[in-house]
Amino acid sequence: MTYYILGAIVLILIVYMFVTMRRLSKAVTNLTQGKFIEGYRKAQLIDVRETKDFETGHILGARNIPYSQFRQRFKEIRPDKPVYLYDQNGGKSARAALMLKKKGYAQLFHLQGGFRQWSGKVKSK
């Protein structure tokens, strides 16, 4: 009986992960660092990490809208221009993109691997 319950839980988790990944792939375009660099200068570059992480170092030209404040501040992002998002590893920026997609934003791009993989120009305070 216990194995059936564990099996059901594992199956539910796998289905949930699959559905989430499908939703993300429809909401946001994952970009390698090279492709990200090609387009982010002509777009709105948003760092969704917390302020203390942003101040430690961020991609040159990025604006900080922490994920913890995203629901209140997303209107600071123009829906008619491309939006390039990143965070430390990629998870929060993908969720932020999903939220923006639900709000009607269409041109959403995400840095694959996040800031920890970034080797381009960085600005710090």
Asked if residue 18 is part of any domain, the answer here is no
Asked if residue 9 is part of any domain, the answer here is no
Please tell me the pTM assigned to this model: 0.80
Asked if residue 1 is part of any domain, the answer here is no
pLDDT of residue 17: 73
**DSSP, residue by residue, 20-80:** HHHHHHHH-EEE-HHHHHHHHTTSEEEE-S-HHHHHH-EETT-EE--GGGHHHHGGGS-TT
pLDDT of residue 23: 63
Q: Containing domain of residue 112, as a range?
A: 28-123
CATH number at residue 81: 3.40.250.10
pLDDT of residue 78: 96
pLDDT of residue 121: 84
pLDDT of residue 87: 95
List per-residue pLDDT tens for the chain, 125 residues long: 677 888 788 888 887 776 666 666 666 888 899 999 999 889 999 999 999 999 999 999 999 999 999 999 999 999 999 999 999 987 899 889 989 999 999 999 989 889 998 988 888 87
Encoding tokens for residue 85? 């998002």
Encoding tokens for residue 46? 């948003």
Asked if residue 22 is part of any domain, the answer here is no
pLDDT of residue 120: 84
- Total domains in the chain come to 1
- Taken as a whole, the chain contains a residue count of 125
Asked if residue 45 is part of any domain, the answer here is yes
Asked if residue 89 is part of any domain, the answer here is yes
